[in-house]
Amino acid sequence: MPPDRLTILQQAQLLHDATLSRHGELLDRLEDARLEHAEVMRALRGLQERQQTILEMILALLHQQEERLAQHEAQMTAVRAILQAITGPRLVNVLGVIRSSPLAGLCYDTPSVEVGLFPVDTLNKTPWTLS
């Protein structure tokens, strides 16, 4: 064999060995990346489950608030009807007065109490109540 041919075969062998080595390293890195990816996916699934649980809790709270609002609106409709029946044609918007009162925010956190109706002599007087 001529020396050039041997050199070409040796170079080919070296190139082949280097290529196999690089492919082996690449496969090792790929396996490491696959394992890391699987670990990250497990963590993401856990987060997704927590988010789903939180979403269900929020939806349950929303449903409760919607029910409470509907009950409140029904009660307010009944109160308005009672007030209108009591006051007759001279309807005084007592609910509007209470809502516009600077102390109105304080009464939302207190338990329910009995409401006493009071006469209003003229519409120019401001009615005062304590609860």
List, for residues 65-75, the tens digit of each pLDDT value: 999 999 999 99
Domain span including residue 44? 3-89
Examine residue 111 and state whether it is found in any structural domain, yes or no. Answer: no
Q: Does residue 100 sit within a domain?
A: no
Q: Would 129 be classed as within a structural domain?
A: no
Residues 87-107 pLDDT 10s:
865 544 545 545 554 444 444
Asked whether residue 105 is assigned to any structural domain, the reply reads: no
- 96 is a domain residue: no
Whether this model's pTM surpasses 0.85: no
115 Cβ partners below 8 Å, 6+ apart? 79, 131
Residue 130 lies in a domain: no
Q: Where are the alpha helices (DSSP H) in 1-131?
A: 3-87, 94-100
| Number of domains forming the structure of the chain | 1
